[in-house]
Amino acid sequence: MDYERIELAQPHYGGANAYRVGDTLVDTGHVCGESVERLEAALDDRLAGVERVVLTHPHIDHVGGSLTVDAVTGLPHVVYEGADALVRRYDDYLLEAREEMAALSSGLSEGEPEPDDVYFPVDAGYATDEVAFERVVGHGDTVRVGPYECAVVHTPGHSHQHMALHHEPSGVMLSGDIVSTNGHFMYGPLHWDIGEYKTGLRRLREADPALLLPGHGDPMDDPAARVTDALEKARQVEQAVLDAVAEQGALAAHDLAVAALGATDDTVQFLSNVASAYAVHLAERGELSVERRPYVVARPA
């Protein structure tokens, strides 16, 4: 598969990738001004002639151009089941996402956590009704990406509406955010699920790609090793969460992030969300109990 990676911007967390494959743009960056400016400049240069969009999932750092750049909004879009409905009510989604993150990070400071208006801006005039959805696909469908026919692999966990696109003849897979650069689960608000995350990783392993084109960072030429590492890290974090609660008793989310994930002052807010996601998964298995707002993780009574 011939492709071109375009690195766009996002607040706080470095770059976000978009890919040009023939006439197709895969993902469209964040809604922030820097990302939009880079995308608009690329449309006059490296992305000139793009005629359609495929979105791996509907998070704000992957659909930003679709919501803010007229020349992208009106292009035919292909998305996974459920992504279209989420985009149509994007401000509601963002408000619910900020509420969840406040609950998951409770205990970080006195009073209510401040919403992240930089990363999750609301009431910004998004073109939610104008995004041109051409097709909504499911697991096992085939999608044209440029001149290539790619298999849709449902890879939930980071987002239930997440798909990877596998071009089996070349071994290339556009993998979105199912595999992170450091191999750890990437929390994404509302539609995360650690059990589904492990299912998504195993589906990726079954597809056996030779190269991953991720949503963040450089291409990965060792997919099998990356998936094995991600599954092992998930197992290790689960055990670390159980050990922390066994040793220290009931823990607020931020304390659990420090004890189980080694969170620092710079990372504790995000890692509180990650630790909480694992705690919820373990609670679903009956190994912990979880109480939200204040968010407390404890051993079952």
Closest C-alpha among 157, 129, 124 to residue 56: 157
Decide if pLDDT at 223 tops 70.
yes
Decide if pLDDT at 229 tops 70.
yes
CA distance 52 to 70: 13
Query: Average pLDDT of the chain?
Result: 92
State the pLDDT at residue 110.
46
Decide if pLDDT at 109 tops 90.
no
CA 164 to chain centre: 12
Decide if pLDDT at 192 tops 50.
yes
Closest C-alpha among 39, 87, 26 to residue 65: 39
Decide if pLDDT at 289 tops 50.
yes
State the pLDDT at residue 112.
55
Domains of the chain: 4-103+118-230 (3.60.15.10), 237-298 (1.10.10)
| 79-102 per-position pLDDT tens digit | 999 999 999 999 999 988 888 887
Decide if pLDDT at 249 tops 60.
yes
Span 202-221, average pLDDT = 98
Residue reference for tokens 């589904």 = 196
CA distance 282 to 297: 10
